[in-house]
Chain A
Amino acid sequence: MKLLNFTKSGTGFRMSLFSAALAGLAMMSGAVDAQTLRAVKHSDLRVLDPILTTAYMSRNHGYMIFDTLYALDSDLVPQPQMVDSHEVSEDGLTYTFTLRDGLKFHDGADVTGEDVAASIKRWGERDGMGQVLMSFVESMSQGDSPNQFVINLKEPYGLVIDSLAKPSSNVPFIMPKRLAETPSTEPIPEQIGSGPFKWVADEYQPGVIAVYEKFEDYVPRDEPASWASGGKVVKVDRVEWVVMADDQTALNALQAGEIDYWESPPSDLLPILDANPDVTVKNLNALGFQTIMRPNTLNAPMDDPKIRKAAIAAVNQKDVLDALVGNPDLYKICGAMFVCDTPLASDVGSETLTQGNGMDQAKALLEEAGYDGTPIVVMHPTDVSTLRSQPVVVAQAMRDAGFTVDLQAMDWQTLVGKRASQASIADGGWHMFMTNWVGADVFNPLVNNMVNGKGPDGGWFGWPDVPKLEELRTAYATAATLEEQKGLAEEIQALAYEEGIYAPIGQYFVPTAWSNNLEGVLDAPAPLFWNISKN
């Protein structure tokens, strides 16, 4: 608590008394427990079931209280987490997993193979990669002993472990059987997991605070923490996720030491944090985020691949990223659908996006397609800071190419409701929207929803019906080697660009900021709070 530095004078004496009184008031509030880590997250936690929703806050909540069978390390290689060992039968059809000793749920019950089977089944009903896995599964059950879990396959599938190590929404978290048997369209009734933190239900206030305490009975692995894998050693007693609606308030709170960690400061405030010697600013997620444009293939004229390709060709990623991020150090021009700097990265088909030289091509494609000036409805969410720039830039690029664009402003929740509709434009439908994905959600053809070619039944919003894409994705799932996977991924990307079903319009990074009294903050696909100590 600073005191005014006045020379001896009546005014100075009164001010010092005043300051002392304030200090007294402050001390009466109780010193902040040194073992409580206070973090401001990118949003508030609303849905507590990380299988019911793909919301990143729910995923992050899942990482706190649940654990996974496997997890990816910083080289994107699956590592055992809850699993001690596994065996695969010679014919490749039976996987037997043995869980580590001492795994307990927060209610004291042991983790068993039955819990695992129920959890994976529930996850497989909702998650895309999980659904692919389930299509190969004959049965799942507890093994010969309670700490064993067995998957029997219909045919060999090379991505069983990769599926169980999926790092982002939806993550195959393991929960008690009684919770996992909740229908996957309803939220689980309790927050009981076997993860390194326990949920403190009594202190949860939606929109205000979410509280976690160290789970004393958690048995971490011996290996050092690496990305989402390794030892999850909790070094604080308590973590509080505090909601702050205003970025300036969060900035002030971090600088004043009232919070310890700020997940995603906006880029315009980063220079202030960078200049503060008591704060560290660092990008923790090497894969960053991918921002995309997604046309609706059901509504004319976007049902014509030439029109879709024209829209994509008109866009220059640099323009989008300059508007969205501004600082070139925080973005990357990247046309790879499966994210740059990953094993599957490729620039095939993306030249106009990355070079910004596609305007003539766009105009030519429009003419070739006989575009008649039908307004293209582009949805524009104005209330989300990371989504309100892209539609404006893309709409203008499209207008420059000769499109007539109807840029419709709305809030994000209206967009979420509207994009789920397959209605025609006359009935309130849409032609295009933009959104962002964390890199770990798009880095292979099985997790990347946008290269799903299942059409209106089973596809992702936009619903491209491209059977060849599904063939290639199935081939990818059964590919035996990384080289084969790379080749197939490139084919998928080339076809996706050829069909114009979506385009990555930039890769960007959002650094995290934290007080220098924290040590051990991990590079990871999601904000993780184990390994962090507070001085």
Chain B
Amino acid sequence: MVVYIVQRILAAIPVMAFVALFVFLLLRLTPGDPAAIIAGDTATPAQLEAIRDSLGLNDPLLVQFFSWIGDLLRGDFGTSILSGKPVLNLIADRMEPTISLALTTIILSVLIAVPLGVIAAWKQGTLIDRFVMLLSVLGFSVPVFVIGYLMISLFSMQLGWFPVQGFKPIGDGVGPFLHRIALPTVTLTLLYIALIARITRTSMLEILGDDYVRTARAKGLPERKVLMRHALRNCSVPIITVIGIGFALIISGVVVTESVFNLPGLGRLTVDAVLSRDYPVIQAVILLASLIYVVINLLIDIAYVLLDPRIRYT
């Protein structure tokens, strides 16, 4: 297992290198000039060139690339072209809202969706099953921003129970933190409940017809144990996969939810950087997103081993 993990980590290096090269080249080929954005309307061509020089944008591409890679290897992600702030600081400032939203969403989604999916499979064809499926369809179909606006309209504007927008770090108090993260979490959770409940139900239905489940019932085990101990555990692999990928998706940025609830997360940082051609920031967030996916995939693979003794890596 350790060997497998080390091999996966080593395999991630060429993946990250490819991503770095790809994003670097893609940005340089995209129209738009960060120097023109900084210089403003009245800059002369000479002034524009001076700004480009000062930003290193006139250096040969290879020089720019290796300079950036060299800085990366020293842990220096560069500075934002527009604000002059270290990119690492910009990303660090956005991590807490993003991770907070991801964790609260996934935890709440799993707590609700897995039991719902199990019940739906157990009671297949009944009203409960149909209700869970309806919820699932709605969760997929209704755009997140619509759900968000409805939540704000009801719980913030009408009832006044929650604030309309904003984020409070957990360092300012657990209460204020929860108060502000509640609505965005519930908004995003509906989508993930739909996803996780559906995959849980589908996986459970495949398992519930197997011989060992019939045997467990025949031996007189309580139905709860049959479902949770025998069936659910054996169909957890696809569920874990979906949970892991869902978590990675939220971490890499849910810009619509962040915009609706004014959460200063990675999604908005990425969009703002792309629209303003802030190359160092774009490069860093894309690399970070790639790294997150690599790590999450590795954790998912490790989880497989823990959940399913039939899976072994050599």
In the bound complex, do residue A417 and residue B33 qualify as a contact, i.e. CB atoms below 8 Å apart?
Answer: yes
A411: B residues at CB distance < 8 A: 32, 275
| Per-residue A-contact encoding for B126-164, CB less than 8 Å = 1, 0 else | 000000000000000000000001001000110111111
B38, B90, B162: the one contacting A22 at CB < 8 Å is B162
In the bound complex, do residue A414 and residue B259 qualify as a contact, i.e. CB atoms below 8 Å apart?
Answer: no
> With the chains together, A209 CA to B272 CA distance in Å?
14
Q: Which of B20-28, B64-72, B108-116, B260-268 contacts A (4 or more CB under 8 A)?
A: B260-268
Number of A residues with CB within 8 Å of any CB on chain B: 61
- Residues of chain A having any CB pair with chain B under 8 Å: 1-2, 4, 19, 22, 24-26, 28-30, 44, 46-48, 52-55, 126-128, 169-170, 183-187, 204-209, 242-246, 248-249, 252-253, 255-256, 258, 383, 410-414, 416-418, 420, 449, 458, 460-461
Known A-B contacts A44-B272, A413-B32; the reply to A256 vs B164 at CB < 8 A is yes
B85, B178, B272: the one contacting A25 at CB < 8 Å is B178
B225 on the interface (CB 8 Å rule)? no
Known A25-B176, A205-B90; further 13 A-B contacts with Cβ < 8 A? A19-B161, A22-B179, A28-B175, A46-B82, A47-B38, A53-B40, A54-B42, A185-B47, A205-B93, A207-B268, A255-B157, A416-B32, A416-B37
In the bound complex, do residue B159 and residue A413 qualify as a contact, i.e. CB atoms below 8 Å apart?
Answer: no
A412: B residues at CB distance < 8 A: 275
> With the chains together, A416 CA to B162 CA distance in Å?
41
Quick one: closest B residue to A242, CB to CB? B262
> With the chains together, A1 CA to B160 CA distance in Å?
6
A207, A209, A449: the one contacting B42 at CB < 8 Å is A449
A126, A245, A249, A417: the one contacting B164 at CB < 8 Å is A249
In the bound complex, do residue B165 and residue A420 qualify as a contact, i.e. CB atoms below 8 Å apart?
Answer: no
A54, A242, A246: the one contacting B260 at CB < 8 Å is A246
- Residues of chain B having any CB pair with chain A under 8 Å: 31-33, 36-45, 47-48, 50-51, 54, 80, 82-85, 90, 93, 149, 152, 156-157, 159-166, 168, 172-173, 175-176, 178-180, 258-262, 264, 268-269, 271-272, 275-277
> With the chains together, A54 CA to B83 CA distance in Å?
15
Ordered by A's residue number, 21 sampled pairs between the chains whose C-beta atoms are within 8 Å are A2-B160, A19-B161, A22-B179, A24-B175, A29-B172, A52-B39, A53-B40, A54-B40, A128-B42, A185-B51, A205-B264, A206-B85, A207-B269, A246-B259, A246-B260, A248-B260, A252-B157, A252-B165, A256-B160, A413-B277, A461-B41
A54: B residues at CB distance < 8 A: 40-42
Q: Which among B42, B44, B47, B175 has the greatest number of chain A C-beta atoms within 10 A?
A: B42
In the bound complex, do residue A47 and residue B82 qualify as a contact, i.e. CB atoms below 8 Å apart?
Answer: yes
In the bound complex, do residue B83 and residue A206 qualify as a contact, i.e. CB atoms below 8 Å apart?
Answer: yes
B31, B159, B262: the one contacting A4 at CB < 8 Å is B159
Q: Which among A127, A249, A458 has the greatest number of chain B C-beta atoms within 10 A?
A: A249
B152: A residues at CB distance < 8 A: 249, 252
In the bound complex, do residue A183 and residue B272 qualify as a contact, i.e. CB atoms below 8 Å apart?
Answer: no
**Closest 9 A-B residue pairs measured CB to CB?**
A29-B176, A28-B175, A2-B160, A54-B40, A417-B33, A53-B40, A185-B50, A245-B259, A206-B83
B261: A residues at CB distance < 8 A: 249
B163: A residues at CB distance < 8 A: 26, 256, 258
B45: A residues at CB distance < 8 A: 420
B165: A residues at CB distance < 8 A: 244, 249, 252-253, 258
A26, A52, A242, A460: the one contacting B38 at CB < 8 Å is A52
> With the chains together, A44 CA to B176 CA distance in Å?
25
Known A-B contacts A46-B82, A249-B261; the reply to A29 vs B179 at CB < 8 A is yes
B38: A residues at CB distance < 8 A: 47, 52-53, 187
Known A-B contacts A128-B42, A252-B165, A458-B44; the reply to A207 vs B36 at CB < 8 A is no
Quick one: closest A residue to B89, CB to CB? A205
Known A-B contacts A207-B272, A413-B277; the reply to A248 vs B149 at CB < 8 A is yes
A257 to chain B, nearest CB (A): 9
A204: B residues at CB distance < 8 A: 85
Known A-B contacts A207-B269, A420-B36, A458-B44; the reply to A410 vs B31 at CB < 8 A is yes
> With the chains together, A128 CA to B41 CA distance in Å?
11
> With the chains together, A362 CA to B51 CA distance in Å?
41
In the bound complex, do residue B32 and residue A417 qualify as a contact, i.e. CB atoms below 8 Å apart?
Answer: yes
A2: B residues at CB distance < 8 A: 159-161
B161: A residues at CB distance < 8 A: 1-2, 19, 22
Quick one: closest B residue to A208, CB to CB? B264
A25: B residues at CB distance < 8 A: 175-176, 178-179
Quick one: closest B residue to A418, CB to CB? B31
> With the chains together, A127 CA to B161 CA distance in Å?
51
B39: A residues at CB distance < 8 A: 52-53, 185
B179 to chain A, nearest CB (A): 4
Q: Which among B38, B264, B277 has the greatest number of chain A C-beta atoms within 10 A?
A: B38
In the bound complex, do residue B264 and residue A258 qualify as a contact, i.e. CB atoms below 8 Å apart?
Answer: no
B134 to chain A, nearest CB (A): 25
B281 to chain A, nearest CB (A): 9
In the bound complex, do residue A256 and residue B156 qualify as a contact, i.e. CB atoms below 8 Å apart?
Answer: yes
In the bound complex, do residue B262 and residue A244 qualify as a contact, i.e. CB atoms below 8 Å apart?
Answer: yes
> With the chains together, A126 CA to B46 CA distance in Å?
11
A421 to chain B, nearest CB (A): 9
In the bound complex, do residue A208 and residue B93 qualify as a contact, i.e. CB atoms below 8 Å apart?
Answer: yes
Q: Which among A19, A127, A248, A449 has the greatest number of chain B C-beta atoms within 10 A?
A: A248
B22 to chain A, nearest CB (A): 20
Quick one: closest A residue to B177, CB to CB? A29
Quick one: closest B residue to A258, CB to CB? B164
> With the chains together, A249 CA to B156 CA distance in Å?
11
> With the chains together, A249 CA to B164 CA distance in Å?
7
B10 to chain A, nearest CB (A): 36
B264: A residues at CB distance < 8 A: 205, 207-209
A186: B residues at CB distance < 8 A: 51, 54
A245: B residues at CB distance < 8 A: 258-259, 262, 268, 271
A298 to chain B, nearest CB (A): 13
B33: A residues at CB distance < 8 A: 416-417, 420
A243: B residues at CB distance < 8 A: 262
In the bound complex, do residue B259 and residue A417 qualify as a contact, i.e. CB atoms below 8 Å apart?
Answer: no
A24: B residues at CB distance < 8 A: 175
B127 to chain A, nearest CB (A): 24
A252: B residues at CB distance < 8 A: 152, 156-157, 164-165
A111 to chain B, nearest CB (A): 25
Known A-B contacts A30-B176, A206-B80; the reply to A460 vs B262 at CB < 8 A is no
Quick one: closest A residue to B179, CB to CB? A25
A207: B residues at CB distance < 8 A: 264, 268-269, 272
> With the chains together, A208 CA to B98 CA distance in Å?
14
In the bound complex, do residue B276 and residue A46 qualify as a contact, i.e. CB atoms below 8 Å apart?
Answer: yes
> With the chains together, A2 CA to B155 CA distance in Å?
10
